[in-house]
Structure 1
Amino acid sequence: MQNFIGDQARDVAVVGAGPAGLAAAVYLARFLRSVIIFDTGDGRAKLIPKTYNCPGFPDGISGEDLLVRLREQVKAYATDIVQDKVERLERTEEAFTLTTAGGVMRASYVVLATGVIDKAPTIVGLREAIAARTVRLCPVCDAYEAAGHRIAVAGPERLALKEALFLRHYSPFVCILSNRPADISQTTRLVAGAAGIEIWDIVDDLVPRGSGLDVVMADGSPSRQIDVLYASMGCDVRSELAAGAGAHCDEDGYILVGPHSETSVQGLYAIGDVAKALNQIAVGFGHAALAATHIHNALSARRDRATLRAEAG
């Protein structure tokens, strides 16, 4: 673990080193602000095998490669990236304190880019299946690549139906997987049927095989095959630090932000997937630009007020 000097306050602390957090750090460093980034190394972007809807990469780019590029860009400005987890965030009168196993850091402003953790079905070799793109987590990101394939959706009824209807635009074959008939209401069955979406009840297991998955049925009937499984099971939002500092979150845990990505706590910002918005890399980049610019302007205004007071006194 990289240590840091706890007595050295920074202009800004960025918590999270995914695409949004790293982009914010680049902006802030180019504004000549002192920045420290806290990275736990388990960001969602690392799971992306290849994305084709990240602007500027017509041939696609993996999440890992994108992070490498962004980290290199951050390091060009001598910005510190600390491998440590922020365990507590507190607002004081003049600054924030961030407590980690490595010490306590003070920062005038804080940017939370802590992201979310996707929920996924229990499948042997899940990470390998995600890497092979037979299990996918975001149809907005990659439904284009799944067009025309045999697609299944797994998740709670409401979420699964919403995602299946979205995916039906891309493929003539979309089904919803269910462990028990009672898990799917008659209303959902009617809506799905009208859209040409099948519902497979009594699913017992999912087994990666070749370029797809076998859907094993609980009644012993022959397994069925699909090309792609979309896990529509929701996610756990990493908003604990924000909530602990008093920031407002919605019922799902997403941090509520204003037009400049500032939370209800002055000086505390939330960007990327942890904020209430569309969970996309491009959106995270936009959040980063808005938050960093707003922070820079606020720091400049603070300096100007201090100068005026000094001249007046």
Structure 2
Amino acid sequence: MAKKTYECIIIGAGIAGLQAAIQLGRYMHDVLVIDNQNGRSNLCRGYHNILGWPDGVSGQTLRELGHKQAKAFGIEFVNDLVDQAVKHDKQIELKTKLGVKYQTKTVLIATGIKDRIPPIKHIEPCLGISIYVCPDCDGYEVRNQHVLLLGSGKTGANLALTLTYWTNKVTFINHDQKTLDEEIKDNLLQKNIKVINEPIAEVIAENESEFKGVKLKNGEIIRGDKGFIGFGGNVVHSEIAKQLGVELLENKHILVDPRTKETNITNVWAAGDVVAHSEQVTIAMADGCQAAIWIHKRLLKGD
């Protein structure tokens, strides 16, 4: 038996989902946020390119503050995972992993993506502190330092090349030993990027989170000042969108109207990294706020 009908259900409490929840709460709408606390922003311990946070702020801090702020406006939260979605005319029914059903007039999908990170020993404590994921966010942090690019194939090679904007000391460790085409090999050679085709056994760190290098499975130790990861194969969490008939790109990211953030399915919106955009915190915030504004407009019409 379905629970009460909400005006909007937000799937995902990352940066986009929380910003949308805050905006919809300020419109005094009846909103539920469903999230399983496993979002990508939990990995980052220090965003340094956000207005108002010159010393950096962690994803966890932003999430905690956003959760508290949204709850103050009456937003409800449930720790669960939506695994089924069906649209019935003007109602959307969601079913969770715990078997609970919810009904809503509108849905915002803010489920994000998940980086593929192989189970390399000691890597996790360094993530977001001395091993980075996004060059647009953290390329500045590695300027003029020796960077070890822990990655795989074309994805890792291209990220290694990107990092040469900030430093001319980059070593690419091709963890999965994927074959590189000749053009990429030439580009790496021109930028003096050393390529090591060996799997990584563990990260070497001081005080748990200060990256100092890696130990390869063959026993060799490679020293470096900072790390970046680029393994490819990231998971785009757009399964619920697909169930609702939402149009997806070939890479599984969701297509939305650039102005309203609504998908091709009426009353279904999407925001954040699950949408095709630059995967920045500030853009995710803007997406969430913009989607909320247009959800509010739709709810006012009573559609």
Name the TM-score, length of structure 2 as normaliser.
Answer: 0.91
Q: Aligned pair 1:145/2:144, yes or no?
A: no
- Code of the residue aligned with 2:121 in structure 1: it is V
Report matched runs for 1:1-313 at 5 Å. Answer: 6-100=2-96, 101-130=98-127, 133-179=129-175, 183-210=179-206, 211-217=210-216, 222-234=220-232, 235-259=234-258, 260-302=260-302
- Code of the residue aligned with 1:175 in structure 2: it is T
Cα distance in 2 between the residues matched to 1:181 and 1:265 = 42
| Structure 1 unaligned spans of 5+ | 304-313
- Code of the residue aligned with 1:139 in structure 2: it is P
- Code of the residue aligned with 1:247 in structure 2: it is V
Aligned length: 297
Greater CA drift, 144-153 or 205-214:
205-214
Could you say which structure has the larger radius of gyration? Answer: 1
Q: Taking every aligned residue pair, what percent have the same amino acid on both sides?
A: 26
Cα distance in 2 between the residues matched to 1:217 and 1:80 = 47
Greater CA drift, 112-121 or 146-155:
146-155
SS where residue 128 of structure 1 aligns?
Answer: helix
Give 1:183 shift: 2.0
- Code of the residue aligned with 1:274 in structure 2: it is V
Tell me the alpha carbon deviations over residues 183-225 of structure 1, each in whole angstroms, 9 at most, x when there is no partner: 22322111111123221233553432323343445666x5221
- Code of the residue aligned with 1:276 in structure 2: it is A
Cα distance in 2 between the residues matched to 1:18 and 1:179 = 29
Tell me the alpha carbon deviations over residues 230-259 of structure 1, each in whole angstroms, 9 at most, x when there is no partner: 111231011110011111111221111112
Cα distance in 1 between the residues matched to 2:152 and 2:137 = 21
SS where residue 167 of structure 2 aligns?
Answer: coil
Residues 181 and 293 of structure 1, relative CA distance in 2, 3 Å threshold: closer
| Structure 2 unaligned spans of 5+ | none
Q: Is the CA contact (8 Å cut-off) linking 1:178 and 1:184 kept in structure 2?
A: no
Give 1:267 shift: 0.9
SS where residue 154 of structure 1 aligns?
Answer: strand
SS where residue 32 of structure 2 aligns?
Answer: strand
Q: Is the CA contact (8 Å cut-off) linking 1:25 and 1:35 kept in structure 2?
A: yes
Cα distance in 1 between the residues matched to 2:99 and 2:177 = 51
SS where residue 144 of structure 1 aligns?
Answer: helix
Name the TM-score, length of structure 1 as normaliser.
Answer: 0.88
Give 1:139 shift: 1.6
Give 1:169 shift: 0.8
Tell me the alpha carbon deviations over residues 58-91 of structure 1, each in whole angstroms, 9 at most, x when there is no partner: 2211111111111111011111111111121111
Tell me the alpha carbon deviations over residues 147-169 of structure 1, each in whole angstroms, 9 at most, x when there is no partner: 12211223332212221121101
Cα distance in 2 between the residues matched to 1:204 and 1:289 = 41
Cα distance in 2 between the residues matched to 1:180 and 1:105 = 42
Cα distance in 2 between the residues matched to 1:218 and 1:118 = 23
Q: Is the CA contact (8 Å cut-off) linking 2:215 and 2:222 kept in structure 1?
A: yes
Cα distance in 1 between the residues matched to 2:65 and 2:22 = 12
Cα distance in 2 between the residues matched to 1:237 and 1:53 = 24
More helix by share: 1
Give 1:179 shift: 4.9
Cα distance in 2 between the residues matched to 1:281 and 1:139 = 13
